[in-house]
Structure 1
Amino acid sequence: PFSADDVLFTVERAQNVPNSPSSFVTYLKGKTFLKIDDHTVHIKTAKPYPLMPNDMTTVKIISAKAGKGASTEDYNSGKATIGTGPYKFVEWVPGDRIVLERNDDYFGTKAKFDKVTFKPIKSGPARISALLAGDVDFIDNVPPLDVARLKKDNSVQLSGGPSNRVIYLHMDQFREDSPHIKAKDGGAIKNPLMDVRVRKAISLSINRDAIVDRVMEGVAVKAGQLLPAGFHGVSENMKPDPYDPKMAKKLMADAGYSDGFKMVVHGPNDRYINDARIAEALAQMLNRVGIEASVETMTKAVYFGRASRGGPDKSPEFSFMVLGWGAGSGEASSPLKALLHTYDKSKGLGAANRGRHSDAEVDSLIQKALATVDADARGKLLATATEKAVGENYGVIPLHYQVNTWAAKAGYKYQPRTDERTIVMGLGAN
């Protein structure tokens, strides 16, 4: 049975797994955990922290009994897998399928299906072909190119909507000698990205409408801040920057870079929707304002490690990065804390701040918001922090919000989620 011991085991293990892709430090740092009884854990923070329940939903609790001495491979293989959900694990055949069956002892709403099989199909066209052929009943990540066609197909039911994931740019703001930036002649140059005028020029050089319409096939929403309208803590005063290459060139000249410079655009090619194509489009736009941009993309397995700690002393390796962030908390505190607060590993702040943006006023606003229980007051603080960090500092440059699309055979429909997750309990009869 699920108990407090499982909670304590999980939070301790999460922070100490060797070579873990995530220590969950953003969600666990600054909290102490005390077992009161078998079904009660007291979680204490140093100061008021209204988002603590949100943080804890991010850390999935695992069994202390099954997990004792278990390796990462034991979890990946299913050997140590155990839970309390609506479905039970049956088998995992790597690269082929994961099979679940209904858990009739589940304490909540009973599952709709007796058996569920997940099949990994990396290729978008192959996923669609499998659905249309009847080989599968439901797919996620419908490629934007195919959305319009599938809308006209009566054998398919689409569902989708904007997510809370913003695709954005992080820029090196902490090194005068940035590793992937050179003068036009190939010589050394002081890092232009440290100048806010250059960062603003880059934002003005980006035609967001073209990215949405041509790269994303209209299946995206252009972004001017960290979350779409309607989420808590967004600013009503911010809009996406206009496409203004003339002003971009002026700002470049004002900053002393009228001749431009060379720069590499780094990004993943298998993480976000059309991510490699986005990087290529950005390079073309940057070239038009005098920034001689080239592109290097790689698999996410390689990219994120290098982007976070591939440089000297485990600093971020890249100078200019295409990235994405989904707000797990459902409010602006999530990206502000992770992407724009001054990097402080010991406190779990700025955990994904790969550009090392740092501003004392922004830090103060974020920290005050994180300790403010009143939702309206917290929202105002978050909006002000966003206006300063994004609107004034250009600590990151938002591009667009992803729109996610699912497709099921006729008769079934998926309830779209802003967190992009695909869960069986969200699929039901139309």
Structure 2
Amino acid sequence: MAAAVATAPLPMLVSSALAAPLSIGLAADVTSMDPHFHLYVPNQNIADHVYDRLIHRDEKLYPSPGLALSWKTVDDLTWEMKLRPNVRFHDGSPFTAEDVKFSIERVPTIKDSPGLMTTYTRAIASIEVVDPLTIRFKTATPYPLVPNDLAIIPIVSKKAAANATSADFNSGKAAIGTGPFKFVRFSRGDRVELARNEAYWGPKPAWETVTFRILTNDASRVAALLSGDVDAIDNVPVPDLARIKKDANLQVVAKTGYRLIYFGLNQTEAAATHFSTKAGAPLGTNPLRDLRVRQAINKAISRDTIVGRVMEGAGTATAQLVNSGLPGYMTDLQPTSYDPNGARDLLAKAGYPEGFRMDLNGPNNRYLMDDQIVQAVAQMLGRVGITAAVDVMPAATFFPRNNKGEFAMSLVGWAPDSAEASSPLRALIATKDAQKGLGNFNVGYSNKKVDELIERAVVTVQPQAREKLLQEATRAAVDDVAIVPIHHQATVWAMKRTVRYPGRADERTHAMEFTPTAGTKN
């Protein structure tokens, strides 16, 4: 196996620090300051400020050295990383390989997590600390994605986090990282306050303090920006874009993101309770177990309507798991055409000529226009005979229930942090298997053929061969309607003209990447 080494400097922060505050309004709630508690982008976004990762990714998801200066293979089953010297945690204690080992081994021990990060740690069979700045990872089989996976795990302080609970992180007691900002205060549902780490190993952020205000209500978030209460907001509501663009004091930045918006389909027999006849009698079986029903749902949804009218163009219709530019994408796999007549025919062939009733769930404060998308899809399903009982709820309530498989059909989003199709394939499509760290976010799908392709892909070293397997697995999953892909979501930020932000393909809102506009004072 060829060695892989990265030695380029990290180009993420401005070179000079200014004594200025920054305030950002966030659309999604932050549920925990414990960076290992939940693989949930709003939490991980905040974690990026307080904690470092071994490998950083820029706004286009290209890797660069973080706490690891270089990485290479020692043999087919061993990866070695050389760590950055002279790095200290916020409490002044030195960063060493022991902290890396502790952080990775901590991931599967988290209690009551709505979604563990074990998908990205299970391949590691053992960890060897060679010396304070050298660490080796052993895998049971050749596994080329070790650097990709470890780029996702935040590194915490062993000294501060040993025996710490998630509550200890929320209080700040254990929230000790090496990142560009230090923890100041976390008030659930209200705000996160951070202060610049003056001893940061990299270039200092431009802001002395940062306040992330949790503003899940679209109107409140936009009002905070228009009134000047915050300097910037993320997830700009589509209906407010025109008004913001007309304001001479504001500017908008849009980025085509990698997040897939899709509907998960719970195909377990246990989910039969979510279905009934039009008269209200239990069906006694789960119709989603029939491929024809899943195909009918797929055909009943007009993606062009969702992207064009609901999203007003802030997305790209899709039929696959990743968008163009990422390994696993297929140019010939086009979005499923809207075909209500074909959907009705498939339902009749499956034994449901009159259709049926079902539950349809989703969050109402997580993704761009999420509750409106659920309502629109409910109307589309109604046109082919499926009466959908819509129930949307705050993300903090939705995700724990969805990850337990409590819903029949649910709107979810997924961003491939590992920058290839292996991420959604392992997390969303693979049969749930805690021992293997697979299917952590799978709501109820299983296909042995697809599982075999996924497991072959992630141990295939040669990039072209791996991509071919990822494409095969994706095509097999799409053909089986494992999930119902809708679109890849664009991300839109709005801000005062006194600040700048490049936008990120992974949707994250990084205070350290905001800079003051030349010649202005914030």
Contact 1:370–1:378 (8 Å) recurs in 2: yes
Identical aligned pairs, as a percentage?
A: 45
Shifted more, 174-183 versus 413-422: the winner is 174-183
1:168 is matched with 262
Q: CA deviation at 1:111?
A: 1.7
Which one-letter code corresponds to 2:241 in the other structure?
V
Secondary structure (helix, strand or coil) at the match of 2:346 reads: helix
Query: Are 1:369 and 2:435 matched, yes or no?
Result: no
Unaligned runs of 5+ in 1: 310-315
- Of residues 346, 350, 353, the one that matches 2:439 is 350
For 1:263-291, what per-residue CA distance to the aligned partner results, in whole angstroms no more than 9, with x for missing partners? 11122222222222211111111110011
Secondary structure (helix, strand or coil) at the match of 1:346 reads: coil
2:507 is matched with 420
Q: Separation in 2 of the partners of 1:188 and 1:92?
A: 46
Q: Separation in 2 of the partners of 1:132 and 1:201?
A: 44
1:313 is matched with none
- Of residues 311, 322, 336, the one that matches 1:216 is 311
1:397 is matched with 484
TM, length-normalised to structure 1: 0.93
Q: CA deviation at 1:93?
A: 5.0
Query: Are 1:321 and 2:410 matched, yes or no?
Result: yes
Query: How do 1:258-297 and structure 2 match up within 5 A?
Result: 258-297=353-392
For 1:375-394, what per-residue CA distance to the aligned partner results, in whole angstroms no more than 9, with x for missing partners? 2222121112111111x111
Query: Are 1:10 and 2:103 matched, yes or no?
Result: yes
Contact 1:179–1:318 (8 Å) recurs in 2: no
Which one-letter code corresponds to 1:260 in the other structure?
G
Q: Separation in 2 of the partners of 1:233 and 1:26?
A: 18
Which one-letter code corresponds to 1:224 in the other structure?
A
Secondary structure (helix, strand or coil) at the match of 1:113 reads: coil
- Of residues 395, 403, 412, the one that matches 1:308 is 403
Contact 1:27–1:58 (8 Å) recurs in 2: yes
TM, length-normalised to structure 2: 0.77
Contact 2:271–2:407 (8 Å) recurs in 1: no
Contact 1:158–1:408 (8 Å) recurs in 2: yes
- Of residues 17, 34, 46, the one that matches 2:128 is 34
Contact 1:157–1:411 (8 Å) recurs in 2: no
For 1:334-367, what per-residue CA distance to the aligned partner results, in whole angstroms no more than 9, with x for missing partners? 11111111222211112211122x2222122211
For 1:29-83, what per-residue CA distance to the aligned partner results, in whole angstroms no more than 9, with x for missing partners? 1312221111222111111222211211221111111123322111012122211
Secondary structure (helix, strand or coil) at the match of 2:155 reads: coil
Q: Separation in 2 of the partners of 1:317 and 1:88?
A: 37
Secondary structure (helix, strand or coil) at the match of 2:184 reads: strand
Query: How do 1:29-108 and structure 2 match up within 5 A?
Result: 29-31=122-124, 32-92=126-186, 96-108=190-202
Which one-letter code corresponds to 1:202 in the other structure?
I
* Structure 1: 4+ residue segments shifted above 6 A: none
Which one-letter code corresponds to 1:361 in the other structure?
K
Secondary structure (helix, strand or coil) at the match of 1:253 reads: helix
Which one-letter code corresponds to 1:109 in the other structure?
P
Which one-letter code corresponds to 2:343 in the other structure?
A
Q: Separation in 2 of the partners of 1:331 and 1:280?
A: 31
Q: CA deviation at 1:84?
A: 1.3
Query: Are 1:185 and 2:279 matched, yes or no?
Result: yes
Q: Separation in 1 of the partners of 2:480 and 2:107?
A: 34
Q: Separation in 2 of the partners of 1:94 and 1:268?
A: 18
Q: Separation in 1 of the partners of 2:350 and 2:194?
A: 59
Contact 1:101–1:114 (8 Å) recurs in 2: yes
- Of residues 247, 251, 258, the one that matches 2:346 is 251
Which one-letter code corresponds to 1:118 in the other structure?
F
Q: Separation in 1 of the partners of 2:220 and 2:311?
A: 19
Query: Are 1:145 and 2:233 matched, yes or no?
Result: no
Q: 1:380 to 1:293 in 2, by over 3 A?
A: same
Q: Separation in 2 of the partners of 1:95 and 1:340?
A: 31
Secondary structure (helix, strand or coil) at the match of 2:267 reads: coil
Structure (1/2) with the larger helix percentage: 1
Q: 1:100 to 1:307 in 2, by over 3 A?
A: closer
- Of residues 447, 458, 473, the one that matches 1:359 is 447
Contact 1:222–1:401 (8 Å) recurs in 2: yes
Contact 1:176–1:194 (8 Å) recurs in 2: no
